[in-house]
Structure 1
Amino acid sequence: MPQDVSQPFTSSIDGSPAGGLARSASGGADDEMISGIRSVLAECGGLAVDAGTLAVDDDLYAAGLTSHGCVGLMLGLEEQFDVEFPEKLLNRRTFESIAAIRNAVCGLLDGGEA
């Protein structure tokens, strides 16, 4: 009998057949979301730097995000991802980094609140 046919699809990261593949798929979706967030940041955030140069954990307020820019960013994110930020997420921590925004939007898309 032939060997397990799933073997050629193992991940070079950890060698597991499905685990690596799932991580790649979710990484692609994550990359797409981060790209969307960067796009909204560039258009609506009023940052002092290019949004494309920021790491996902960089402090957006240190990069020039103001309270006015934050409102524009929130509205842009709501339109981009078809979500609505509840009042409890309208705080500095939600918009402090691309990673924080991603987590909030993911929580809203999953049907809950981040």
Structure 2
Amino acid sequence: MFDTIRRLVDEQGRLSVAAATIGDDADLYATGLTSFAAVQLMLALEETFDVEFPDRMLNRRSFSSIAAIANCLQEIKAEEAA
């Protein structure tokens, strides 16, 4: 999952550095993620993982790091399975 998230961050995030060089908990906004790029990233994540981010996850914190994104995706998948 983390490799796929990193690929999508590279494709959609418009960061100043490669996602492979960023730690899982590093602040993506500090590396150049904008709110527009975060929306593009969210749409790519939804399509790739076949999920829909609920309104409560549509905030800066949910997309603040690779780990935060992975946690949101895992939570969504768990809710769908329940």
User: How would you bin the TM-score normalised by the shorter chain?
Assistant: over 0.9
* 2:27 is the alignment partner of 1:59: yes
Deviation per CA, 1:7-57, whole angstroms, max 9, x where unpaired? xxxxxxxxxxxxxxxxxxxxxxxxxx0001001101111111101111100
Partners in 2 of 1:53 and 1:46 — Cα distance?
14
AA aligned to 1:62 is A
TM-score for both structures, normalised by structure 1: 0.68
The gaps in structure 1 that reach 5 residues or longer are 1-32
Radius of gyration: which is bigger?
1
> Which SS does the other structure have where 2:2 is aligned?
helix
The runs of at least 4 aligned residues of structure 1 exceeding 3 Å deviation read none
Structure with the bigger RCO (C-alpha within 8 Å, sep 6+) is 2
Distance 2:79 2:11 in 1: 26
Identity fraction in percent: 52
Q: Which residue of 2 aligns with 1:93?
A: 61
**Structure 2 runs not aligned, ≥5 long:** none
Q: Tell me how many residue pairs correspond in the alignment.
A: 80
Which residue does 1:4 correspond to in 2? none
Task: Quote the RMSD (CA, aligned, Å).
Answer: 0.8
TM-score (norm 2): 0.94
